[in-house]
Structure 1
Amino acid sequence: MAGQTSQEPLKTQQKCIAIFALVCCSAVLLALIFSSVDIWGDSEDGITEENCSRDCRIVLVENIPNNLFLPTDGKPNLPLSAGFHTLLDQAKHSIELVSPVWDLNSWDVETTPGIAKQGQLLFQSLLSLKSRGVKLKIASSLINSAELKTLAAHDAEVHFVNMTVFTRGGLHSSFWIVDRKHIYIGSADMDWRSLVKRKELGVMVYNCSCLALDLHRVFSFYWQLHQRDYIPSIWSKRVTALYSRHEALELQLNSTQASAYVSTSPELFCPKDRTRDIDAIYQVIQSAKTFIFISVTDYLPLVSRRYRGTSVTRYWSPIDEVIREAVVLRRVTVRLLVSFWKKTHPLTFNFVTSLKSLCIHLHNCSLEVRFFSHKDQKDDMQYFLNHNKYVVTDNALYIGNHDWVGSDFAINAGVGLVIQMKNSLKNSGVTILEQVKAAFERDWRSRYAKNLQGGKDQDGKYRHLRKTKKVMETKEENEWNYPLSL
């Protein structure tokens, strides 16, 4: 009994030592975790939610190619190239830039000499940032871009995001952040075609450090993935979202009360509190009371993935279903403007025909589909292409980087901007919603927006598309050539 009594203090001492060691290990682990969080997060220049600017100016920017004759009812929107140069002129400290394509400095253009001049000028302006003391940071998934190598040789920092190991997709995001104060989001790439040949639409938001700070956190997320082959299990506090669909940023846009937030995709790239692009689109469509106007290059509610050498395709319902709900249950007017070009998938016609059929036997039901097409697209598949990617309603706007194709949202990285006005269009004057709505209606009324016709002619078109697809697959080519008459 005495021997057992003498061992008890020893056991108690051993337990205390074990507990102390466990506590020390836990403390060290927590210190490592939180230190890594701070290291991964980039400096935010002292900008916080408390001191950031919410009194902002927003400008709609577009590129309308020459020889694309659209109805004009008023003052045209700011040209895209002028908007980019304005952002460059505003820059004093830093520019953070993401683009899926880098082809500005093209000297090997087989078309009219000088047509790529706008791209070359923009590229030279980016090169000159070094002499002005402005730091240029670029996130990209392009491995062998000559332009990025040239920019890096002029002191630009370029971080590579290996999307293949994350999702087998691509970095489709397209946005600028200047001095953590001004931003651009839209459909345009860093491609001379976006400045000359393609029809693009986006927004510049000035003196809006609250929104810029949140978009900077998206950029920081990309930035920290440099040379990584995994998504960190512990998010940096400086990449988590500041605003979301549940808690949007309250701000002034051109002296009008509004709310806004940034969304991202795919889901794997959505840190804590970040709204997914698909949920942002869902919210904008679901909140519409009277109309929903959609302009996208491609509309295809399918997800296609390759698995062990086999291609697997499934129906992707979120957008398709919320449109049907708006039309049938809420009697909201829907207009869908889709581009018709060499990469239009044949099943696009099946899906939009199915949407149109909703109103056949319903009263007070309005859903129209038109295809935007220019006859000269047969010479160059991107010339005159309507590259827009947005939806505008009576009270909200979403501008993004993705086409409305299921695979894009599932595997490709993109960014969207949601703006909701506090007052309806009728009471708020010329807001950004009114401007985008006017741009849509201009395109919708143009000679290039053509109705989808039914009947035998359409059946013949389907047969032709299937035949063309089979021929092109036999040749092992990825791009299909379709007839351009609708």
Structure 2
Amino acid sequence: MATNMLLVTLLPTLVTFLVTSGVWVGVFFIVGLNNQGSTNNYYNYAPTTPAPPVTPIPIDQCEATGQYSQCTSDCDFVICESLPDDLYPNQNFGTTSTTDCWLRLINEAKEKIVIGSYYWTLLLAETAECEEEEVCKKYSKDGQKIYDALIDAATKGIKIQIAMNALTSGYTDIEPITIRDVNPVNVSVRQVDFPRFLGNGILHTKSWSVDGKNSYVGSANFDWRSLTQVKEIGVAVYNCPCIAEDVQRMLDIYWEMGATDSQLPEYWPSQYTTNANHDHPYLVPSKDGPNKAVHFSSAPPQLDSCGRDSDIDNMVKLIDEAEDYLYMAVMDYAPSTLYDKPTRYYDKLDAAIRRAAFDRFVDVKFMMSKWVSTKKKSYSYMFDFDDFGYYLPCKPGVSPCKSGKIEARIYEMPQERFEKIPYARVQHTKYFVSEKATYIGTSNWSADYWISTGGIGISIRSADDGGKEKVVNDVKELFLRDWKSKYATPIYDFYINGTRKYESTD
């Protein structure tokens, strides 16, 4: 009898363990995580030489010598979205196209444009593999607009400072160098060689600061496909010096790293100190609705100036604060390294997601991506706990029963007419939203991006307890639009090799 009672007591715990441990069944669409022969345009496959450890200094002990403007109610927050025109035709979602966001940044510039970038293929001429000539000509026009606007700004004498990733196979610096040559006195370009500093990695950011007044942080690369044929999300903030100055401090660190014979300092000089992080955010007054609490995080830790949150730690803090729902959308995801071989386990984000569902009964929805292009693999870690919530106890004091659950879906864009455009037709976003906050970043969610890859994230939440922040709510609605769409398929409708178990009849 005692034995039977013990089994009854332990059974729910054992079932829960088995279900949640099932996450290790495999990796979705990955062929051999530890395959040393894998190749990819995005990374050098080499063991990482660890950079010197960083000991953060509390923000109240940071020396600050830069410019730090007060936030005002004039700050204008705009959600910028790249949304291929065939996905949701004739529907308005209240976002601004990434192209229009960037054109506004350039056209309102009076003195200086500062850019942090990965690679440059704004022009169709830089996309030699594009085999659908007419389709490519049509959709590359937005990239041409951005390129022409930057040329025009250089012609007018506006200073332009571009930090880009050091050239890797398949990429050139033709576009930024051509912009520089229009006005070599005022336009400068530097390449940042991350392996020299960190043993591996890339500059993966996609960020702007203009006149210390306007800014953008998001997932869109300087690529015509990122403007029209890839799904992207970012945030532009106009007429808001307190925000733009902080973005520029991060971009100026990239600029310093691009200097000849530069070295990583033990601590970055005081002019790069931030005056905002998760625990001490910028308080941005609002003319209507609750005030905003805003801050930036960055990766890797060796690039964090005094007071700056590391990107992964900031993400975990925000996730740990979710109490009702947590909606997440990213291109590639894994609780490990993907590019540093052999791969290594790294569960900071994974553990936070599980805590949300298991400990706090949070409804977690996770949307990952499948590349249509055969030239790029998708790396999406396979959740194997679709019934996770059913094995958890009910939340105390809540009726009817509320239990945590994690659901995963694959977002796959239709490929008809676009299958020959390389590296396109994919959800490339990197964001999440809870009832309290939203985070929008430039990095995918595997350990490489937090250990050795340059990236930035913006976090926005209400500064007032219980306040319903508009940007947060708008991001939630964008997620649910995609989650409920015909392009989002439950992960269990796919085999482990990425093929569907059955074809859609839509």
DSSP-derived class of the 1:183 partner: strand
Going from structure 1 to structure 2, the CA distance change for 1:485 and 1:237 (only over 3 Å counts) comes to farther
- Which of 82, 86, 95 in structure 2 is aligned with 1:63? 82
Q: Which residue of 1 aligns with 2:384?
A: 353
**Paired residues for 1:467-486 under 5 Å:** 482-483=498-499
Going from structure 1 to structure 2, the CA distance change for 1:87 and 1:347 (only over 3 Å counts) comes to closer
DSSP-derived class of the 1:315 partner: coil
- The one of the two structures with greater contact order (alpha-carbon pairs below 8 A, sep at least 6) is 2
Does the alignment pair 1:395 with 2:436? yes
How far is the alpha carbon of 1:264 from its aligned partner? Answer: 0.4
Deviations 1:154-185 (A, max 9, x none): 23211221112112100001111011011111
Q: Which residue of 1 aligns with 2:249?
A: 217
Of all paired residues, the percent bearing the same amino acid is: 27
Does the alignment pair 1:142 with 2:181? no
DSSP-derived class of the 1:293 partner: strand
DSSP-derived class of the 1:188 partner: coil
Going from structure 1 to structure 2, the CA distance change for 1:433 and 1:52 (only over 3 Å counts) comes to closer
Deviations 1:365-402 (A, max 9, x none): 22211110124175446333111110111111111001
Q: Which residue of 2 aligns with 1:275?
A: 309
- Name the structure with the higher helix share: 1
Q: Which residue of 2 aligns with 1:232?
A: 265
Does the alignment pair 1:178 with 2:196? no
DSSP-derived class of the 2:201 partner: coil
Whole-Å separation in 2 of the counterparts to 1:357 and 1:435: 29
- The gaps in structure 1 that reach 5 residues or longer are 1-40, 466-481
Going from structure 1 to structure 2, the CA distance change for 1:99 and 1:248 (only over 3 Å counts) comes to same
Whole-Å separation in 2 of the counterparts to 1:175 and 1:68: 26
Letter in structure 2 aligned against 1:142: A
How far is the alpha carbon of 1:230 from its aligned partner? Answer: 2.2
Whole-Å separation in 2 of the counterparts to 1:431 and 1:369: 26
Kept in 1, the 8 Å contact 2:154–2:179? The answer is no
Does the alignment pair 1:434 with 2:473? yes
Kept in 1, the 8 Å contact 2:299–2:456? The answer is yes
Q: Which residue of 1 aligns with 2:16?
A: none
Q: Which residue of 2 aligns with 1:21?
A: none
Does the alignment pair 1:110 with 2:134? no
DSSP-derived class of the 2:202 partner: coil
Kept in 2, the 8 Å contact 1:56–1:206? The answer is yes
CA RMSD of aligned residues (A): 2.5
> Which portions of structure 1, spanning 4 or more consecutive aligned residues, are displaced by more than 3 angstroms?
41-44, 51-55, 253-256, 342-347, 377-383, 482-486
**Paired residues for 1:84-483 under 5 Å:** 84-107=102-125, 108=128, 109-111=130-132, 112=135, 113-143=137-167, 144-155=172-183, 156-167=187-198, 168-225=200-257, 226-253=259-286, 255=288, 256-304=290-338, 306=340, 311-341=341-371, 343-344=376-377, 348-349=381-382, 352-354=383-385, 356-362=386-392, 363=394, 364-376=403-415, 379-380=420-421, 382-423=423-464, 428=468, 431-453=470-492, 461-462=495-496, 465=497, 482-483=498-499
Whole-Å separation in 2 of the counterparts to 1:131 and 1:151: 9
Letter in structure 1 aligned against 2:297: S
Going from structure 1 to structure 2, the CA distance change for 1:305 and 1:432 (only over 3 Å counts) comes to closer
DSSP-derived class of the 2:275 partner: coil
Whole-Å separation in 1 of the counterparts to 2:89 and 2:407: 20
Letter in structure 1 aligned against 2:254: Y
Kept in 2, the 8 Å contact 1:172–1:412? The answer is yes
Kept in 2, the 8 Å contact 1:291–1:334? The answer is yes
DSSP-derived class of the 1:417 partner: strand
Kept in 2, the 8 Å contact 1:183–1:204? The answer is yes
Going from structure 1 to structure 2, the CA distance change for 1:278 and 1:75 (only over 3 Å counts) comes to closer
Going from structure 1 to structure 2, the CA distance change for 1:445 and 1:423 (only over 3 Å counts) comes to farther
Whole-Å separation in 1 of the counterparts to 2:379 and 2:107: 44
Letter in structure 1 aligned against 2:173: S
Higher mean Cα deviation, 368-377 or 280-289?
368-377
How far is the alpha carbon of 1:304 from its aligned partner? Answer: 4.5
Kept in 2, the 8 Å contact 1:262–1:418? The answer is yes
DSSP-derived class of the 1:130 partner: helix
- Which of 87, 99, 114 in structure 2 is aligned with 1:81? 99
- The gaps in structure 2 that reach 5 residues or longer are 1-62, 395-402
How far is the alpha carbon of 1:420 from its aligned partner? Answer: 1.4
Letter in structure 2 aligned against 1:335: K
Deviations 1:78-135 (A, max 9, x none): 1111111111121111110111120002234432233211101110110111232311
- If you compute each CA radius of gyration, which structure gives the higher value, 1 or 2? 1
Deviations 1:222-244 (A, max 9, x none): 11112235202342111122211
DSSP-derived class of the 1:288 partner: coil
Going from structure 1 to structure 2, the CA distance change for 1:290 and 1:42 (only over 3 Å counts) comes to closer
Higher mean Cα deviation, 265-274 or 415-424?
415-424
Going from structure 1 to structure 2, the CA distance change for 1:55 and 1:241 (only over 3 Å counts) comes to same
Going from structure 1 to structure 2, the CA distance change for 1:126 and 1:134 (only over 3 Å counts) comes to same
Whole-Å separation in 2 of the counterparts to 1:70 and 1:88: 28
TM-score by length of 2: 0.76
Whole-Å separation in 2 of the counterparts to 1:292 and 1:373: 21
Whole-Å separation in 2 of the counterparts to 1:411 and 1:142: 14
Kept in 2, the 8 Å contact 1:370–1:450? The answer is yes
